Amino acid sequence: MHHHLTTPYRDQLQAQRASLLAQLTQQRGGLVDRAEAQGRAPQPEESHAQTATERELAFALDERETAEIAAIDAALQRIADGHYGACTECGTDIPAARLHAAPEAERCIHCQEALEHARHA
Ligand SMILES: [Zn+2]
């Protein structure tokens, strides 16, 4: 793997990915601990609602972090393919300042904004 084309962002992406995975593992571990504690001592109705809310929150967090990990994986794949740094929509080079702030970015700011406007329309 060491002979692969590298960019300054490869290490940054891999570090981000590792820290997101650690966060996910920690969140899931914490929920399992609480679920086990509740399993040992059955709770009245209202704690069911609380557990459901916690579960929904965990899913929401999971979803965001899972999406970030997927974006990072896609960026690492683009590095491996030699396409990294070009907008996947229009092919323009993504400015270094943008990649520095968000190395997993797959679109230039114009295409990203267009996409977000379309989503919220
Ligand atoms: Zn673009």
Tens digits of per-residue pLDDT, 89-113? 999 999 999 999 999 999 999 999 9
Look at residue 10 and tell me whether its pLDDT is greater than 70.
yes
Chain segment 44-103, per-residue pLDDT in tens: 555 666 677 777 777 777 888 899 999 999 999 999 999 999 999 999 999 999 999 999
Domain co-membership, 75 together with 92 = no
Domain co-membership, 74 together with 96 = no
| 6 CA distance to ligand 1 middle (Å) | 23
| 107 CA distance to ligand 1 middle (Å) | 5
| 86 CA distance to ligand 1 middle (Å) | 8
Domain co-membership, 22 together with 34 = yes
Tokens of 86: 């070009």
Cα–Cα distance, 60 to 39 (Å, whole number): 23
- Cβ distance 107 to 89 under 8 Å? yes
Domain co-membership, 3 together with 46 = yes
Q: Where in the sequence is the domain holding 96, given as residue range(s)?
A: 85-121
Total of domains in the chain:
2
Domain co-membership, 73 together with 98 = no
